[in-house]
Every structure is written in structure tokens, then in C-alpha cells.
Amino acid sequence: MGRLHMTRPHDDPHSSPHAGTYGEEVMPKRRTSLSGQRILITGAARGIGAALARSLTHQGAYVGLLGIEPELLAAVANDCGTASGPAPWRECDVTDADATEKCINDIVAELGGLDVIVANAGVAAQLPLVGGNPEIFRRTIEVNLMGVYNTVRAAGPHISHKNGYALLVSSLAAAINLPLLGAYSASKAAVEALGNTLRTELHPYGATAGVAYFGELDTEMTSRGFGTEAAKELTKSGPLLKVAPLAPAIRRVERGIARRSRIIAAPWYVRPLLPMRPVAQRVIDVTIRRNLASALEIARAENAPLTTAQRETVLRPPNQGDTTA
């Protein structure tokens, strides 16, 4: 399978009035110290969310945590605590609008206000659009899209003040769409649209919003999502892009939050791909075909689960349960 070959440019924060570290598009004349910032993160039990929470705490921020894995959340909260105790956290399924609103309000009360919301909770699973499990599609949209909407709807009033900020976590998959990731790509493209709309709607209050785009980072989501037999078949000629370490991406997110960036992108190659999406998509369409037919057949039989187990949610295999549209 062909690859996307890119040469990394030198970072030049002075190349334009809106350019920061490569991968960030920065609001002009706006920078906020992370120390003392009150930041709420969803999907904080593992991966990007947990790493970001720990790193922000090290920078002097006060964090609140939401997620669906209480044991892991408690461990992160202990790592992010202060002398008075662990960081505030709640077990919360962001697809439940009422529960999300209550949990966010509770944590904001404990933090004494809110400066930043990071809508990070998300899931993924391989899914052939024809012959795949429709429950996987439904749940992916519920978590990745409705969960983000429920989060910003509940947190929005708390950040609608001068220098308030919402960061919505999208993906490179919103711009470049791979086979077997149709549900994930659709959900992340919608998150991108929500972020761009929210930015405009927050402007009258002195607040703003950014969208984060990540490629393949070294997280459990990546290893689980690409650890299936179908993924191995699809990429057996070699990966399109190498998995990148998580730590540099977290540093980029921290800088983006401090600068209230419109766009945060990691690894380095993601930012230049965004305006090139029609060309990059055509490259993918052509180069991915080699093992695609066999990969689709494997995926239909494999019926891979979501990367994060959903509590109290039954994902029925295809062709079972209701047959109504």
C-alpha cells in the first residue's frame, strides 16, 4: 500500500502573525498562563485526556475530570490533586444530557468557576458501511457527536466570559477518510463543524473555541482500533503514517489552550494536510485499494468492539434485534 510522504519543515513561529508552533493557528495578541486556569476534561480516564490532565496540573492548572471508568478516573484525580485532596471527578456518560449537565455543574462548583472545557470523550471501531454492525455506527455518533454537543451545551454558560475557551477534539479523520472508519470520520467531521460554529457564537461574550486534529498517536485507542485482523490486512504493505508519541502532542495542546488557538494539530504532519484534504483524499482512495476487498470481508466477520467498553450498553451484532429503520 502506498504511503503519504511528507518532509517536516522547521518550526517558525514568526512566519505569519497567526502562526505559533507548527500545528497551531493562534489568535493574535492572546495568551493566557495555564497556572490557575480551571479546566474540565471529558474522556479523562485514559489516553489523551488523562495525559493532558496530568500535564496541565504540572503547569499549575486546576482540572476537573469526567469519564466512564471510575477506577481509572480516581487514579488520574489522585495524580492531579492538591494539598486539599484529589481533583474533582465524576463518572459520567456524555451521551446522557441531563447527567452531563449535572456533573459539569457540580465540578464547576468545586473548581469555583470554569475557564476551559476540553470535549475529548470519544470512541472508535472499524465498521464496514455495507454489512457492518449498525449499533457500532449509532453508538459512535452518540458518543463522539452528541456527547460533544451535550458537553458544550452544559459547559457553554460557564465559559461564556472574557478569555473563556472550548476545545473540541476532532481528528485528522475528519479531513481524510479511510475505509472502515466511516462512522468515526463522520462523527469527527461533525465535531469540526460544531467547533467552528461555536467559535462564532462565543465571540460576543469574549470567549472562543478551537478544534483539535490528531493523527495516529500512541494511545490505547490507536492500538485497539488498529489491532484488528482487518486493520492488519489493510495495512500489511505498510502503514500510511507512523504512530507518533503522545507527549509532544500533549505539549502542543497545552500551548494551544494557553494561546486560545483556533486549530491545534498533532503530530506535525497533520496541520499541512488539512488544507490539502481533496488531494490527500484522492491519494488515499487510490493507494488503499490493494488489500481492501479482503479487509472488508474480515471486518464483517470480525465485528470489532468499540475502543472503550460502553457501560450498560449492548451492541447487538448485525441482523439481530429491531429491523425498523
Whether 201 maps to a domain, the answer reads: yes
Q: Which domain holds residue 184?
A: 34-302
Whether 14 maps to a domain, the answer reads: no
CATH of the domain at 113: 3.40.50.720
Whether 315 maps to a domain, the answer reads: no
Angle value at C-alpha 21, between 53 and 186, nearest 5 degrees: 65
- Phi/psi at 290 (nearest 5 deg)? -55, -50
Distance of alpha carbon 163 from alpha carbon 211, whole angstroms? 16
Q: What is the pTM of this model?
A: 0.85
Sheet holding 208-214, edge to edge: 24-25, 263-266, 208-214, 165-169, 116-119, 38-41, 62-67, 89-91
Judged against a pLDDT cut of 60, whether residue 23 lies above it is answered with no
Between helix 182-202 and helix 134-141 the angle, nearest 10°, is 20
Whether 12 maps to a domain, the answer reads: no
Q: Is 184 a catalytic residue?
A: yes
Judged against a pLDDT cut of 50, whether residue 313 lies above it is answered with no
Distance of alpha carbon 46 from alpha carbon 143, whole angstroms? 16
Whether the Cβ atoms of residue 56 and residue 32 lie closer than 8 Å to each other: no
Distance of alpha carbon 6 from alpha carbon 215, whole angstroms? 14
Whether 275 maps to a domain, the answer reads: yes
pLDDT value of residue 10? 41
Distance of alpha carbon 259 from alpha carbon 132, whole angstroms? 42
pLDDT per position as a tens digit, 284-312? 888 888 889 998 998 898 877 777 777 65
pLDDT value of residue 202? 98
Judged against a pLDDT cut of 60, whether residue 7 lies above it is answered with no
- Beta strands 24-25 and 263-266, pairing class: antiparallel
pLDDT per position as a tens digit, 211-241? 999 988 877 666 565 677 877 888 776 666 6
Whether 111 maps to a domain, the answer reads: yes
Whether the Cβ atoms of residue 87 and residue 63 lie closer than 8 Å to each other: yes
Number of domains in the chain: 1
Q: Which residue of the set 22, 184, 213, 269 is catalytic?
A: 184
